[in-house]
Structure 1
Amino acid sequence: MSNIFEITKQFTFEAAHYFPNMPEGHIYKKIHGHSFVGEVTFYGKQKKDNQWVNDFGEINLSLEKIKKKLDHQCINNIKEIGLPTLENIAMWIGKQLKKEYSNVRSVKLSRPSCGESCVYKIT
């Protein structure tokens, strides 16, 4: 019998966005900011040599690269994201991580002050 684990790393960033496709006068059409909380989950068996699924230090380095692109930025300027919805931002983060980690399972992105979150499941 093999043991499968899920491990999760949390990270935060501050960013602004707006929705240019909204009707004139709509509150989301104006630039505004949020405090984001992300959680990235990986799955797998413990590696024989170090007994962990992934090295949290390496995950943290990967997340720092991603955060550099997002933190205190206007997300609309990251063209690969498209409209800066929670869904699109979470998917973009997941795709960045998938380039380095084959066992990334999901990205949860939330805006706690708004009581909003979404989970991008990576297949």
Structure 2
Amino acid sequence: MIIYKTFSFDSAHYLPNVPAGHKCGGMHGHTYTLKVFLAGEPGPETGWILDYTDLKNRIRPVIRLLDHKLLNEIPGLENPTAEKLSTWIWNKIKPIFPELRRIELNETPGTGVIYEG
């Protein structure tokens, strides 16, 4: 069984490696949405894989690293494409959740990346 929870955060960034004049070369911001998917068997007593409150509380420190920040200033995110940001997030939360199976990161409602490790 797979469960998920959706989080959001607001960050600014610019892409330093795009061609001159590209609109993403200038600083701009996004309201990102992040879906975190965990897989496992529901516990016989609780009936769930993980309490959603526990999931939220364990992800919160990672979200705080990104929320209302300039992503380019975070070590490892000097060129913060959605693809790079998704792998960065994965590497931060995989040690917290061995049952992590997938993340979905959206920069806008219509664009995003799916990362499965």
Where does residue 32 of structure 1 map in the other structure? 28
One-letter code of the match for 1:43? Answer: A
- Residue deviations 1:67-114, cap 9 Å, x none? 11101101111112342111111111111111111110011001235x
Sort the Cα spacing of 1:62 and 1:82 in 2 relative to 1 into closer, same or farther, 3 A. Answer: farther
Identity of aligned residues (%): 29
Instruction: Say which SS state the counterpart of residue 64 (structure 1) adopts.
Output: helix
Q: How many equivalent pairs are there?
A: 117
- Structure 2 unaligned segments of length 5 or more: list them: none
Paired letter, 2:113: C
Q: Is 1:65 matched up with 2:61?
A: yes
CA drift of 1:58 comes to 1.4
Q: How does 1:13-92 map to 2 (within 5 A)?
A: 13-92=9-88
* C-alpha contact (below 8 Å) 1:91/1:107 kept by paired residues: no
Aligned pair 1:112/2:105, yes or no? Answer: no
DSSP-derived class of the 1:81 partner: coil
- CA distance, structure 2, for counterparts of residue 61 and residue 33 of structure 1: 25
Contact 1:13 1:71 in 2 (8 A): yes
Q: What is the CA–CA distance in structure 2 between the aligned matches of 1:112 and 1:82, rounded to whole Å?
A: 20
Letter in 2 for 1:49: E
Superposition RMSD in Å? 1.4
Q: TM-score, normalised by structure 2?
A: 0.91
Query: What is the CA-CA distance between 1:49 and the residue it aligns to?
Result: 3.2
TM-score (norm: length of structure 1): 0.87
Structure 1 spans left out of the alignment, 5+ residues: none
Report how far residue 118 of structure 1 moved. Answer: 0.8
Q: Partners of 2:102 and 2:79 in 1: how far apart?
A: 20
The aligned amino acid for 2:112 is S
